[in-house]
């Protein structure tokens, strides 16, 4: 059987237009990359969440650009179909030029096809896009801002904050970003944003109406001791890890996950 060709941004954008849900899962190493790829997951996110899941830190802040390059290399070596996206870690994109240099490392050495950065950094996004670097935005709960936020809590509950998140989403799309992650925001706000944007939205704790869903691998396998409300242990009812990942993929594709109990 001939393997499926590697997914591109055009494929992901076509999924949004056709109404097909996009499945996304974090990946940090070659072994899991191969399993996730074989399960059919559309996007593998090499997330700076590796600071907690792999390195044992209490936040994503200690993760370096070298860490992200290394783990991107591991993931990209064994994938064949899944689209590979990598986080720019804390303080690696303080200026547009710094962002471009570090994004180049992730793409040239790490094998990433797209970089993700937190917040409405419109100027930086616009600069990266002009250099030929695909960008995914990230709004709502921003883990790299944990010392400002004080806790990992739902964002956008107040009308003024919800309006700002929507305005930021529109500005990020206008700047040229081609994907947008929405984390821990009310489901209705995520639905409004997803309807107003032409680029795909990927939700995590943002309800069923996003164009796709992402979870942290360790959370959906029940490895993390304390998981957020928006997560689900797919290994609990599966005979193997590969089956659990396949079940997650199908649940996203069939719009069965997230359920109301996983949303805000």
Q: Are residues 53 and 217 in contact, defined by beta-carbon separation less than 8 angstroms?
A: yes
**173 part of the active site:** no
Q: Are 191 and 173 in contact, with CB atoms under 8 Å apart? A: no
* Separation of CA 65 from chain center: 17
Q: Which of 20, 118, 158, 183 is catalytic?
A: 183
The token pair that represents 233 in the structure block: 């242990």
**Residue 198 to residues 17, 123, 177, 179, 193: CA-CA distances in angstroms?**
8, 20, 11, 9, 10
Residues forming a β-bridge with 137: 180
Alpha-carbon distances of 159 from 1, 163, 188, 196, rounded to whole Å: 52, 6, 12, 17
Q: Which helix (H) or strand (E) segment is 194 a member of?
A: helix 187-196
Closest C-alpha among 83, 82, 98, 86 to residue 28: 86
Q: In sequence order, what DSSP letters do the residues of 8-31 get, joined into one string?
A: -HHHHHHHHHHTPPEEEEE--SHH
Backbone angles phi, psi at 211, to 5 degrees: -75, -15
Q: Which residues are identified as catalytic? A: 183
């Amino acid at each position: 059987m001939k393997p499926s060709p590697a997914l591109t941004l055009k494929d992901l954008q076509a999924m949004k237009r056709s109404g097909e849900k996009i499945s996304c899962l974090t990946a940090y190493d070659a072994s899991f990359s191969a399993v996730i790829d074989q399960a059919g997951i559309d996007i593998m996110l090499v997330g700076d969440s590796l600071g907690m899941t792999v390195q044992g830190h209490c936040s994503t802040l200690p993760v370096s650009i070298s860490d992200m390059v290394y783990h991107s290399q591991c993931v990209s070596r064994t994938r064949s179909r899944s689209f590979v996206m990598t986080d720019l870690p804390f303080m690696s994109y303080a200026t547009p030029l710094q962002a471009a240099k570090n994004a180049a490392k992730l793409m040239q050495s790490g094998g990433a096809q797209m970089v993700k950065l937190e917040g409405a950094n419109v100027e930086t996004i616009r600069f990266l896009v002009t250099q030929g670097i695909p960008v995914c935005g990230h709004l709502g709960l921003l883990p790299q801002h944990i010392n400002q936020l004080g806790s990992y809590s739902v964002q956008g509950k107040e009308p003024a904050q919800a309006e700002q998140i929507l305005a930021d989403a529109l500005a990020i799309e206008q700047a040229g970003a081609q994907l947008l992650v929405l984390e821990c925001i009310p489901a209705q706000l995520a639905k409004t944003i997803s309807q107003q944007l032409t680029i795909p939205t990927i939700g995590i704790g943002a309800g069923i109406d996003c164009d796709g869903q992402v979870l942290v691998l360790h959370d959906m396998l029940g490895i993390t001791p304390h998981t957020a409300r928006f997560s689900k242990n797919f290994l609990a009812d599966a005979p193997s890890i590969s089956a659990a990942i396949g079940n997650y993929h199908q649940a996203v594709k069939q719009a069965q996950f997230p359920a109301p109990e996983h949303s805000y």
